[in-house]
Chains A and B, each alone.
Chain A
Amino acid sequence: MQGVCATDKRGSKELGSEELVGWDEVMQGVVVNSFEGDATDIARQKAEERNYSEFSSYTATVASWRVIKPVYNRDICIDCQNCWVWCPDTSIVSRDKQMLGIDYDHCKGCQVCVEVCPTNPKSLLMFAEHEDLDKALAQWPQKEKKEK
C-alpha cells in the first residue's frame, strides 16, 4: 500500500539533498520546467503517467516532517473522498473514484484526513511513524456506539 501509484521519481530525494551545481549550470533566469518532454494536456494524465522533471517537487519527499502517520483501512472505507478533497499535501491517492491509499512521500502527518473521515470506526487513523502498517491494522478499533 505504501507505494501506491508511486513511480521511481516520486519522493526520490530529500529536500536539500540535491547537488549544488555551479553558476554555469544553474537555470537561466531561475526558470524551471515542471516536466521533461511534451506535457500537453497534463490535466488529463495521472501522476504515474507523467514525466516529471527533476525540478518538480513531486520528485522530493517531506516524509521526514512526520512524527505520526495516517494509516488507511480499506475494509471500512466508503470512498467518500473527503480525505482526497481536503488533503493539503496531495497525498491521498484516489483513482477511478476509489481511495487507494496514502502517498507517504508527500504526507506531512497533519491528520486532517482522519478528522474528516466520516466512517465509524474511521477508515484512517494516526499511528506512530515507526508503527508497522499490518500491526496498525490489527489494532483497529471496533465500531463506536453512539452516545444517547
Chain B
Amino acid sequence: MAEKYDVQEVEVWDGNYAAAHALRQAQIDVVAAYPITPSTPIVENYGQFVANGYVDGEFVMVESEHAAMSGCVGAAAAGGRVATATSSQGFALMCEVLYQASGMRLPIVLNVVNRALASPLNVRGDHSDMYLGRDSGWIQLDAFNAQEAYDLNLCAFRIGEHLSVRLPVMVHQDGFVTSHTAQNVNPLKDEDAYAFVGDFVPHEEMLDFSRPVTYGAQTEEDWHFEHKAKQHKALMDSRAIIDEVFADFEKKTGRAYKRVESYMIEDAEVAIVALGTTVETCILAAKQLREEEGIKVGVVSPRCFRPFPFDKIREALENVNAICCLDRSSPGGAMGALFNEVSAALYSTQKRPLVTNYIYGLGGRDFSIAEAKRIMKEQKAHADAGYITTEIQQFSGLRGPKLGFFETKRR
C-alpha cells in the first residue's frame, strides 16, 4: 500500500508540484513519461514520490514523448488509471498518438505545461502546444494558477473516466509563470482527494480474459465517418459531465469552476477573452480601468477549451458591445483560434458584438497590466464608434513597426 503523504492545509507549491501531488493522490496505475522543460518537474516529483513509497503504480520512463503516450494508450486499454505530462516539442511529437487515444476512447490524463513551439526553439510559455491539440478529440481544461492545476487534475480523472465520457483529458497550465512560481495551494487530504476521484472502473479492458477485445481496428470510407461522429458526440456531450463534476468539486472544496469563467461581465460594455495566466492579469487591469476611468470592462475565459463552450461563450458575451480575443499562439496565416471560435459563437446572437484579435506573448513575452488596459481602451473606442476603428488583428507587445491585418467592412 502506498504511504500516506501528510499535506498541510496550505502548501506553497508551484504548478508542477501541485499537479504531481494531484497525480499521486489519484493513485494512478501507470505513468509513462518523458521529461521536457517546463513540465519535467511533474515527472521528477512523481518519481520522487515513487522512490519514497507514496505510489503503488508503475512509473515507466520511456525514450520519447511519442512512446510516453503510446505506453499510456497500451496501459489504458489494459484497464487502469493512466496519466503523463509534457510540453511543446514533446506534445508535438506525441500528437499522432493523441488522436489514437481519443479515437479509442481511452481516459488518459495529460498535463500540458504550455510552451512555445520551435522554430525558433523557445522554452517559455505560450499556447502553441495547447492550440495544436485542439482537434485531437481530447477534453482540454485550462488552469490559470497552481491551485487550479491541482484542482483540475482531480476533476480530469473524474470527467475522463466517467462511463458516458471515456475520453482523454488535458490539463493545461502556463509554462514557468504557473509551473515554476510557488503560490499558496490548498490541497485536499490524500483520502479526501482519492474519495473525490474514486476507484477506476475498467471498461473493455485487455486484461479481462473472459472477454477478449480488439482495440485499434481499421475503418475506411464505409465506417470511419460514423465512428468519428460518435466520438464527436461524446466530446460534445461531455459538457454536462464537466458541469456535474465541477459542481461536485465545489460542494467538496468550496472552489467553483465553470466551463466559461466570467469576471465583472454582468454590467460590462467591453470584454477581453483570454486563456491561462493572462486571465489574472486582465482581471487586475479591468478592475483598475473601472476604478480609474469608469470603463466597464469584463473578463471572460474558456476554462474548458475543448469541448469549446460555444453555448456558454455566447451567454457570457452576447450583451457586450466590443470584445477582444487574445491569442497566445502564432496563428500561421489566419486569425487567432480564440478569435475565430468566439466570433463564430457570437455570429448567431442578435447583437453580434464587435470582435478584434490580438496576438501577444509569444515565446514567453511578458503581458503587462498596462498593455491589457491599452487593449481594453481600444475596445471602448470601438464600442463608442460603433465599428472597429483599428485593424481587426493586431500584434501586441511586439517591437518594430505596428503589425496588423484587415479592416472592418461593417461601419
**Interface residues of A, Cβ cutoff 8 Å to B:** 20-24, 26, 28-35, 38-40, 42, 55
Q: Please name all residues of chain B whose beta carbon is closer than 8 Å to the beta carbon of A22 when the two chains form the complex.
A: 226
Q: Please name all residues of chain A whose beta carbon is closer than 8 Å to the beta carbon of B231 when the two chains form the complex.
A: 29
In the complex, per-residue mask of B225-245: 1 if CB is within 8 Å of any chain A CB, else 0: 111011101100000000000
A107→B19 CA distance, assembly (Å): 56
The distance from the CB of A28 to the nearest CB of chain B, in whole angstroms, is 5
Interface of A is mostly: loop
7 closest A-B pairs by CB: A29-B105, A23-B229, A23-B226, A40-B210, A34-B212, A29-B104, A23-B230
Nearest residue in B to A21 (C-beta to C-beta)? B226
The distance from the CB of B270 to the nearest CB of chain A, in whole angstroms, is 41
The distance from the CB of B77 to the nearest CB of chain A, in whole angstroms, is 9
The distance from the CB of A113 to the nearest CB of chain B, in whole angstroms, is 28
B209 contacts which of A28, A30, A40 (Cβ < 8 Å)? Answer: A40
Q: Are A39 and B214 in contact (CB under 8 A)?
A: no
Q: Are B211 and A32 in contact (CB under 8 A)?
A: no
**Interface residues of B, Cβ cutoff 8 Å to A:** 103-106, 166, 204, 209-217, 219, 222-223, 225-227, 229-231, 233-234
Q: Please name all residues of chain B whose beta carbon is closer than 8 Å to the beta carbon of A21 when the two chains form the complex.
A: 226
A35→B209 CA distance, assembly (Å): 11
A118→B231 CA distance, assembly (Å): 54
Q: Are A42 and B213 in contact (CB under 8 A)?
A: no
A29 contacts which of B166, B222, B229 (Cβ < 8 Å)? Answer: B166
Nearest residue in A to B105 (C-beta to C-beta)? A29
A55→B104 CA distance, assembly (Å): 17
Contact A31-B204, Cβ < 8 Å, known A20-B222, A23-B229, A26-B223: yes
Q: Are B216 and A28 in contact (CB under 8 A)?
A: no
A21→B226 CA distance, assembly (Å): 9
Q: Are A39 and B212 in contact (CB under 8 A)?
A: yes
Q: Are B214 and A31 in contact (CB under 8 A)?
A: yes
Q: Please name all residues of chain B whose beta carbon is closer than 8 Å to the beta carbon of A31 when the two chains form the complex.
A: 104-105, 204, 213-215
Q: Are A24 and B217 in contact (CB under 8 A)?
A: no
Q: Are B166 and A28 in contact (CB under 8 A)?
A: yes
A20→B204 CA distance, assembly (Å): 23
Q: Are A29 and B103 in contact (CB under 8 A)?
A: yes
Q: Are A26 and B104 in contact (CB under 8 A)?
A: no
Nearest residue in B to A27 (C-beta to C-beta)? B227
Best-surrounded residue of A26, A32, A33, A39 (most CB of chain B within 10 A): A26
B105 contacts which of A23, A24, A28, A32 (Cβ < 8 Å)? Answer: A28
The distance from the CB of A68 to the nearest CB of chain B, in whole angstroms, is 29
Q: Are B216 and A30 in contact (CB under 8 A)?
A: yes
Q: Are A34 and B227 in contact (CB under 8 A)?
A: no
The distance from the CB of A112 to the nearest CB of chain B, in whole angstroms, is 26
A35 contacts which of B106, B212, B234 (Cβ < 8 Å)? Answer: B212
A24→B225 CA distance, assembly (Å): 12
The distance from the CB of B167 to the nearest CB of chain A, in whole angstroms, is 9
A38→B212 CA distance, assembly (Å): 9
The distance from the CB of A139 to the nearest CB of chain B, in whole angstroms, is 42
A21→B225 CA distance, assembly (Å): 11
